[in-house]
């Protein structure tokens, strides 16, 4: 998540959030937070999925910070307001739900794969039986009595 999104959630100014992070920079290693490069920021601003007015307010002088799940969790120890704690709990629950959905999707994908293999095996057997029954050499013999002099 980007710093200005988190600042909005925590109801603080982006500047205040970034100052709090910089005062506690030891709590934010590279796998918790990164500063976007000029290229990354420009790519986000030019993306049709990324609409915001921050471009004119932020420009390229102040590149945003991007936080990982662990970085967002660490923010609760940096921002000690009640709102920060409530928002952090909600974000953590969202990450847990997302991870659960990914796990459920993986399990569902495996189950569908098993079902598909089983159905392919069954349909293969059915196709073999149908081919045999429809082949000319497997014509069923006529059933009934044959009488002399009568043709069927």
pLDDT in tens, 35-82: 998 888 888 888 755 555 454 446 567 899 999 988 988 887 788 778
Residue 151: its pLDDT value, please?
58
Q: What is the pLDDT of residues 109-151, one digit of tens each?
A: 889 989 989 888 888 888 888 888 777 775 666 777 777 766 5
Cα within 13 Å of Cα(7), Cβ side:
17
Residue 63 DSSP symbol: P
CA distance 105 to 102: 5
Q: Residue 144 region, left (φ>0) first, then alpha (ψ -120 to 50), else beta?
A: left
Residue 25 DSSP symbol: G
pTM of the model: 0.55
Q: What interhelical angle do 3-10 and 14-23 show, nearest 10?
A: 110
Q: What is the pLDDT of residues 14-23, one digit of tens each?
A: 998 999 999 9
Which pair of structure tokens corresponds to residue 126? 């059915």
What are the residue boundaries of the structural domains of the chain, listed by start? 3-88
Comparing C-alpha atoms, which of 93, 71, 89 is closest to residue 81?
89
């Amino acid at each position: 998540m980007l710093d200005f999104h988190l600042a909005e959630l925590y109801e603080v100014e982006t500047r205040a959030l970034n100052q709090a992070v910089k005062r506690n920079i030891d709590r934010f290693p590279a796998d918790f937070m990164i500063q976007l490069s000029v290229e990354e920021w420009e790519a986000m601003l030019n993306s049709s999925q990324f609409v915001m007015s921050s471009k004119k307010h932020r420009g390229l002088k102040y590149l945003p910070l991007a936080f990982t799940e662990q970085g967002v969790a660490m923010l609760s120890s940096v921002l000690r307001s009640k709102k920060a704690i409530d928002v952090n709990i909600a974000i953590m629950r969202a990450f847990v739900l997302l991870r659960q959905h990914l796990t459920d999707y993986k399990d569902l994908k495996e189950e569908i794969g098993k079902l598909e293999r089983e159905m392919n095996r069954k349909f293969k057997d059915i196709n073999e039986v149908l081919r045999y029954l429809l082949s000319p050499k497997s014509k069923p013999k006529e059933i009934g009595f044959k009488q002399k002099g009568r043709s069927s």
